[in-house]
A and B are shown apart, each in its own frame.
Chain A
């Protein structure tokens, strides 16, 4: 006997023999080892006008497609990690309905590079890493917050999860994460209503190139190419106090006049890739390799580094060819400010990546 149709929002506890009328939002396939050997199952998201819920299909007709509407009967729910999930098995029946079904608020998907706080709740996909656990108190109770770095092919963003540990090192799809701006950077937060799904993602360590015209978002792990079209006048050698590390205009620190000085380099420049230009700052770590300025050279007690020599190495290394820059964009009052983490000469491998992205646009 068929039971009455349930709404997604009514699915809050474990039960069996459920009938639902839903739209399939996504389907992925996965291979699993079972006691009987390898088997393939499907998982994804489905929704109705009251909500969205993840499903797992141990068995499912091959004709079931995403974006179609079905009446599904004889399925069951289970709770895992405090989250409810719907399951299909061999007994589950699917009836394709020739109608459209409105699904409660689905969150638009964004690449990390394209996030924008005009859309506060979003869907993102990526790989989490750098897990850190912190505790906080709420109403006298100790609660945990888990912090991650999420990476996709276009950039990285910090992500905090309240109370729930998330899977690290594999692809996740997060629907309904909350986006906000904190300390000049975007970050994502997940909470009870956020749907988190495993997905198969192919993301390489190396981010894909962004066009400078598209660098508008304060996130990390952005890679751009271009030529330096102007180098800041004060770029080059600088001195810091050995004691407090403060940048010195004078030969000695006002607070630690006896401490002596140490040398460092800092540059700022405008880079142009034909689609636009932007200001970039870079420190020693970012330019050491491309300029050949070593820490030994900077810290040689007998032969202090020369301003002119440093400028000439910067000119030789950076101004005579196309470069590739990896870095973080930050929101300031003046707009986006870009800090380079690594600057390299554009090599053939970089060049091929750039050409293939250009070609994609006309494919």
Chain B
């Protein structure tokens, strides 16, 4: 039951949206709508994103939110009307520092210098947990990485078409936006976005390491009285395979450096 008319919600990171300076008209005749199109091949007028609310302000009746996804901020503004009372209830429930998922329609204004600002008119906003936000970021980065590969392919082979991209495994939807984007942003330097992608995967590692750090600390703390816990015992308790202790080593090093634990004898640890 795919409702063909539904406007797809694009999963896009804040930094990619900030790179956007172009819009295109999509659709036929009366129902033509202005869509953003980024240099990385995302095109649409509805987006879905997760992040932490860094500010919430109310002016007159207007509520403004800034939501950060660690690569930048999304700007949301909401004006209550009769038809969006459900969104009003949702927005009243969220506050600064909450991690949220937002779906909304985009609107744009361009400055004379060619900058473009994107405002998001929320259709739903709800508090979510950290894991869900991480899932969104990971999937959005994955989709961005796919598109970067596609755009590079277009730059490498100027004869590439939508159908040649589809034959490489891209969806028609992806291919069509990438081809259009590639011609609109012919001089865009894609290396900038590749760096950002690297940063995202690096921060993912550190997030999981810090979680591991907490768990290891708890294990060592629980057995402090017994003269410390051996490396092997920690690995066993954590159910970590002895072939892949890299992340555990990293977490232990951090705990030692931060002075949370010390080595009571060789490869045996106690909390301070």
Give the interface of A toward B (CB within 8 A). Answer: 213, 225, 227, 229-230, 270, 272-279, 319-322, 332, 334-337, 346-348, 351, 354-355, 358, 361-362
Contact = CB atoms under 8 A, between A and B. Distances in A.
B135 A320 contact: no
B128 A351 contact: no
Contacts of B138: 351, 354-355, 358
Contacts of A274: 11, 48, 136, 139-140, 142-143
Interface stretch (B1-9, B30-38, B222-230): B1-9
Nearest to A212: B2
A208 to B, nearest CB: 15
Contacts of B131: 321-322, 346-348, 351
A277 B1 contact: no
A231 to B, nearest CB: 10
A124 B170 CA distance: 25
A340 to B, nearest CB: 13
A354 B135 contact: yes
B2 A336 contact: yes
Considering the complex of A and B, which 5 residue pairs feature the smallest CB-CB distances, nearest first?
A274-B11, A279-B1, A321-B132, A322-B132, A358-B142
Contacts of B128: 320-322
B171 interface: yes
- Which residue of B126, B135, B149 has the most chain A CB atoms within 10 A of its CB atom? B135
A216 to B, nearest CB: 10
A352 to B, nearest CB: 9
Contacts of A225: 135
B145 interface: yes
Given A272-B48, A279-B3, A229 B135 contact: no
B64 interface: no
B1 A229 contact: no
A227 B101 contact: yes
Interface string B115-149: 00000000010111101101110111011011001
A353 B130 CA distance: 17
B132 A229 contact: no
A273 B6 contact: no
A125 to B, nearest CB: 22
B103 interface: yes
B146 A361 contact: yes
A114 B129 CA distance: 33
Contacts of A321: 128-129, 131-132
B164 to A, nearest CB: 18
Contacts of A346: 131-132, 135
Interface string B91-133: 0000000000101000000000000000000001011110110
A277 B9 CA distance: 9
A336 B3 CA distance: 11
Contacts of B1: 278-279, 332, 334-337
Given A279-B2, A320-B128, A321-B129, 14 more contacts: A227-B132, A272-B48, A274-B11, A276-B171, A277-B6, A277-B9, A278-B1, A320-B126, A320-B127, A321-B131, A334-B2, A337-B1, A348-B131, A355-B138
Contacts of A229: 9, 48, 103, 124
Contacts of B149: 362
A13 B234 CA distance: 64
B139 A358 contact: yes
A240 to B, nearest CB: 23
Nearest to B139: A274
Nearest to A346: B135
Nearest to A347: B131
A94 B124 CA distance: 69
Contacts of B129: 320-321
Nearest to B169: A361
A337 B2 CA distance: 8
A225 B131 CA distance: 13
A325 to B, nearest CB: 14
A358 B142 CA distance: 7
A319 B131 CA distance: 14
28 contacts: A225-B135, A229-B103, A230-B124, A272-B8, A273-B139, A274-B140, A277-B8, A277-B9, A278-B1, A278-B2, A279-B3, A319-B126, A320-B126, A320-B128, A320-B132, A321-B128, A321-B129, A321-B132, A322-B128, A332-B1, A334-B1, A336-B2, A346-B135, A348-B131, A351-B134, A351-B135, A354-B139, A361-B142
B155 to A, nearest CB: 18
Contacts of B134: 351
Nearest to B146: A361
Contacts of B48: 227, 229, 272, 274
B143 A275 contact: yes
Interface in B1-35: 1-3, 6, 8-9, 11
